[in-house]
């Protein structure tokens, strides 16, 4: 199975009971043979432009693993799902992910040469 990143924009009126559309999304992923690795609710945010007559949406990000034929199945289902305003499903680039992780580690740990220069 390959790793993917999925970002969905959920209709703002569903913010009160957000678990219902999230369960539907999780169900679509698992029924296509995938699994949800992690999930991050970014909350309700203003859109850059109107989508389906809405100015706001609830952003939710997923890290998922999918078999080869699942992205097409998921895309077809998401296209007819009323709860979603938009979605973005992209394959994870392993090289870029490693570079980002190394950069985060480098930023988190102070470099010894920097400390010597300050003295």
What pLDDT score does 23 carry?
A: 94
Domain locations in the chain as residue ranges: 2-93
Q: Which of 83, 10, 5 is nearest to 47 (CA)?
A: 10
- Report d(CA 91, CA 106) in Å as an integer: 25
- Per-residue pLDDT tens over the stretch 18-37: 999 999 999 999 999 999 99
What pLDDT score does 95 carry?
A: 81
What pLDDT score does 71 carry?
A: 92
- Per-residue pLDDT tens over the stretch 107-119: 887 655 554 555 5
Angle among Cα 93, 63, 26 to the nearest 5 degrees reads: 140
Q: Which CATH number fits domain 2-93: 3.30.70.60, 1.10.1040.10, 1.20.144.10, 3.40.50.1010?
A: 3.30.70.60
Residues of the chain with pLDDT under 70: 110-119
Mention every residue, 6+ apart, whose C-beta is less than 8 A from residue 73.
Answer: 32
DSSP assignment string, 74-87: HHHHHHT-TTEEEE
User: pTM for the complete prediction?
Assistant: 0.78
What pLDDT score does 33 carry?
A: 92
């Amino acid at each position: 199975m390959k790793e993917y990143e999925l970002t969905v924009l959920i209709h703002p009126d569903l913010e009160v009971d957000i678990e219902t559309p999230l369960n539907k999304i999780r169900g679509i992923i698992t029924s296509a043979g995938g699994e949800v690795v992690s999930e991050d609710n970014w909350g309700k945010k203003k859109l850059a432009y109107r989508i389906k007559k809405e100015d706001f949406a609830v952003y939710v990000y997923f890290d998922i693993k999918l078999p080869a034929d699942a992205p097409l199945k998921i895309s077809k289902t998401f296209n007819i799902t009323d709860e979603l305003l938009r979605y973005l499903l992209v394959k994870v680039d392993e090289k870029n992910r490693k570079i980002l992780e190394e950069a985060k580690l480098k930023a988190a740990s102070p470099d010894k040469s920097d400390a010597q220069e300050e003295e």
